[in-house]
């Protein structure tokens, strides 16, 4: 499984019914279980700044991560940016070079 970090913004011009954050979160997790049971949602944070939310999740590959991003967009996020998160320990080497 690969780890992904998703930054997202709420849509300023959302069409349809306006949902509460609790409703969006419940729908997201219900649809993830149904459509992508292999995705493990790690955590989410509310942010102050350019983005509104930070989500961390694990998925089998980038294709599944892209489908998760599309699902998040479908639930009212106006924009997402998904990044691969590689554990720092994978870059550490036994050979220490100056």
| Domains, the chain, ordered by start | 2-87 (3.30.70.920)
Q: For 1-44, write each residue's pLDDT tens digit.
A: 999 999 998 876 555 555 677 888 898 999 999 999 999 999 99
pTM across the whole model: 0.82
Q: Which two tokens stand for residue 63?
A: 């294709």
Q: Could you tell me the pLDDT band of residue 74, with boundaries at 50, 70 and 90? A: confident
| β-bridge mates for residue 58, sequence order | 3, 40
The pLDDT of residue 34? 96
């Amino acid at each position: 499984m690969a780890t992904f970090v998703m930054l997202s913004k709420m849509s300023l011009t959302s069409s349809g019914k306006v949902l509460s954050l609790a409703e969006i979160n419940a729908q997201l997790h219900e649809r993830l279980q149904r459509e992508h049971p292999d995705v493990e949602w790690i955590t989410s944070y509310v942010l102050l700044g350019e983005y509104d939310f930070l989500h961390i999740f694990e998925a089998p590959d980038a294709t599944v991560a892209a489908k998760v991003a599309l699902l998040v967009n479908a639930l009212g996020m106006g924009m997402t940016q998904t990044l691969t998160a590689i554990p720092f320990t994978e870059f550490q080497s036994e050979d220490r070079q100056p």
